[in-house]
Structures are given as C-alpha cells and as structure tokens.
C-alpha cells in the first residue's frame, strides 16, 4: 500500500443521495472511517428543505453542513452572485470564497489562503474538471479534481511529488443521477484546521452548492 510522501495530504469526497433526497458527500483521507460528511441544505429554512425532500433541488445554493468525525461542524453558505461564506458551528467566521473565472479563498483573519485556477494543460475532460490550488503567493501547493463521470475516479494524474500511486481512491463506483460525483484533493503539505475547513468547504461548495470555481465549469 502506498503512503503520502513527506506529509502530503490526499482527501477524496464522494457524493450520494440521502434518504430525504439531500445530497451528501463523504470525505476520506485514507482507508477506514470517514474524515467528515457534508449534507446539502442542512441549515436551510423549511421551504428550501421541502424542495430537497420532494426531489426538486439536487444541489444548489443553500446552507450546507460539514460534520467531522469528532462532531465539530463547519457551515458552507453557497450563494448566487455573491461570495460563499464559511463559518464554524459556534458561529465563528472562517472566511469567504470569491468566485469568478478563477476563485480565491480569503480567511477571516489571515487574508488570502488559496487561489483556485484551471489546470493550464487540460482544465476540462469528459471525466473531470481539473484545477491547481495555489498558495497566497501564487505558487502551486496542490491540485483539485472535480469528478464528472464514474470513469473519473480511475483517471490518474501525475502526482509523483505527492503520492507514489493510487491505493484506495481508484474505485469507479456506479453512475449517479447528480451533476457532480465528487472531488479529489491533493496537497503537498499537512493541513492545519483552517486550511482543512476551507478546502473541504470549497469541495462542498462545488459538489453540493454547484458553484463554478473556474471558467471551464460554467
């Protein structure tokens, strides 16, 4: 079994339907118990929750919840024509994500955290949307794949500086009647809690909120 090189980080998120029709994304950082679970519209009002329950809304704007294995919560408020707002379960502000042809995550106290830009070689394929994750200075610090089809789970990018090879995230699974099947995130370094919350918030914003982060996704 391969292992991360030099403390790098790999997190995969897979989207499924819950019993109440809400979309759910389960994040794993390796074999074993999930790291966290995101649920579509968990913080919505009754009207919006009813639209999800009766199947009228598979993803989209709303207040989505991430719950970690330790019970801690992050809220992801996906909005139309406005930055996405991230906060902790106790109401503490984490930051915002500003979306345009590229997107930028800005911390509530630390300033710019990450930029999301299209892969310069191949930003869009039938299986994936491909992005680079840049640090605040514009240096590449990771990659984010948005999986569009079941075959996207088995498409391997060149990640020799991050992981030796795929070892648990190459299970294709079945096609689902949802717009995006999940995300695959690689980072060159271990994540602190703010970085982790912001990056998983971005994955929820994309998969459950259906917010485009680069021009190729529009």
In-domain check, residue 81 = yes
Q: Taking a C-beta distance cutoff of 8 angstroms, is the pair 175, 17 a contact?
A: no
- The whole-number pLDDT of residue 14 equals 95
Which tokens is 138 given?
Answer: 């514009």
Rg over CA atoms, the chain: 16
In-domain check, residue 31 = yes
* Domain housing 44: 9-217
CA 37 from chain centre, in angstroms, equals 11
Unique residue bearing structure tokens 């199947």: 55
In-domain check, residue 37 = yes
In-domain check, residue 3 = no
- The whole-number pLDDT of residue 57 equals 55
Q: What is the pTM of this model?
A: 0.86
- The whole-number pLDDT of residue 167 equals 39
- The whole-number pLDDT of residue 214 equals 96
- The whole-number pLDDT of residue 61 equals 87
In-domain check, residue 2 = no
In-domain check, residue 1 = no
In-domain check, residue 139 = yes
Per-run averaged pLDDT (10 residues), the chain, 218 residues: 61 81 88 93 56 52 95 96 96 97 95 97 94 97 94 67 42 55 94 97 95 94
């Amino acid at each position: 079994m391969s292992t991360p090189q030099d403390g790098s980080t790999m997190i995969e998120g897979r989207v499924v339907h819950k019993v109440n029709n809400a979309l759910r994304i389960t994040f794993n950082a390796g074999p074993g118990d999930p790291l966290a679970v995101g649920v579509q519209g968990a913080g919505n009002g009754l009207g919006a929750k009813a639209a999800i329950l009766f199947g009228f809304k598979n993803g989209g704007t709303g207040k989505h919840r991430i719950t970690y294995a330790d019970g801690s919560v992050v809220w992801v408020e996906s909005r139309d024509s406005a930055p996405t707002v991230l906060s902790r379960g106790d109401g503490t502000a984490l930051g915002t994500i500003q979306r345009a042809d590229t997107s930028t995550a800005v911390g509530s106290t630390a300033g710019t955290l990450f930029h999301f830009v299209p892969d310069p070689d191949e930003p869009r394929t039938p299986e994936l949307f491909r992005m680079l994750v840049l640090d605040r200075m514009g240096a590449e610090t990771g990659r984010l794949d948005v999986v569009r089809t079941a075959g996207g789970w088995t498409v391997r990018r060149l990640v020799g500086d991050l992981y030796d090879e795929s070892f648990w995230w190459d299970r294709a699974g079945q096609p689902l009647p949802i717009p995006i099947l999940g995300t695959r995130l690689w980072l060159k370094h271990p994540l602190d809690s703010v970085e982790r919350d912001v990056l998983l918030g971005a994955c929820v914003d994309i998969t459950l909120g259906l917010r485009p982060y680069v021009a190729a996704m529009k």
